[in-house]
Chains A and B, each alone.
Chain A
Amino acid sequence: GAVVSQHPSRVICKSGTSVKIECRSLDFQATTMFWYRQFPKQSLMLMATSNEGSKATYEQGVEKDKFLINHASLTLSTLTVTSAHPEDSSFYICSASPELGLAGAETQYFGPGTRLLVL
């Protein structure tokens, strides 16, 4: 149980275009999901907290207008990188936790990640 998927697994796009990444909790509902970014040989950096039915909460230094987050349902959050530039190339990872009271609610489960390359 507690499986999180991401789509696509990798994407290559031209500079200036927008890219959408989906994060789904496959076997549980999650009112809160998290988005991370990881550069090569570095640790994960928390970007934002995605809240179902409300606005996302962004970490300091993360541009909310550039990284649009939509948590449309209890099993789906999307991250859209708008007007992507080469410096946005990175590994994007989402995570989620089952609802309070359900098995696995005590920790976060991570998706497999999405590799973004902006040319």
Chain B
Amino acid sequence: LAKTTQPISMDSYEGQEVNITCSHNNIATNDYITWYQQFPSQGPRFIIQGYKTKVTNEVASLFIPADRKSSTLSLPRVSLSDTAVYYCLVGAPYNFNKFYFGSGTKLNVKP
């Protein structure tokens, strides 16, 4: 059973910042939050992972409030190639935690 809830789809235009929020009300103390990107007919690709506050890498930022019951993936200045499905997952590292995927968010970037 998926532990997360995301919007089914979102639309954006090239050059805009996109924020995708994920709800995970029952997150456990040891759980980390991980976001993946999936293109059609490809395996999911790791984007970013965090535990609390803010994490930033070369492709995205992850914002996690103090209660950790939600998280927001921020994609700066999206392009057409960012059109994909984005999945938010929670799980405990170091424990080979199983990942149960939710529906994900289909991001459509328009020109």
Residues of A near B63 (CB, < 8 A) are none
Is the Cβ of B93 less than 8 Å from the Cβ of A110? Answer: no
A106 and B32 contact, Cβ closer than 8 Å, known pairs A43-B103, A46-B100: yes
Indicate whether A97 sits within 8 Å of B96 (C-beta atoms), given known contacts A43-B87, A43-B102: yes
For the complex, what is the distance from the CA of A31 to the CA of B94, rounded to whole Å? 12
Which A residues lie at the B interface, using CB under 8 A?
4, 6, 31-32, 34, 36, 43-46, 49, 91, 93, 95, 97, 100, 105-113, 115
Give the interface of B toward A (CB within 8 A): 2, 32, 34, 36, 41-46, 49, 87, 93-94, 96, 98-104
Which residue in A4, A106, A112 is a CB contact (below 8 Å) of B94?
A: A106
CB distance from B38 to the nearest CB of A (A): 8
Is B41's CB under 8 angstroms from A44's CB?
no
Least Cβ–Cβ distance between A9 and chain B, in angstroms: 9
What are the nearest 8 A-B pairs in CB distance?
A106-B93, A110-B43, A44-B101, A32-B96, A43-B101, A110-B44, A113-B43, A93-B43
How many Å lie between the Cα of A45 and that of B49 in the bound state?
21
- Check A105 against B42 for contact (C-beta < 8 Å): no
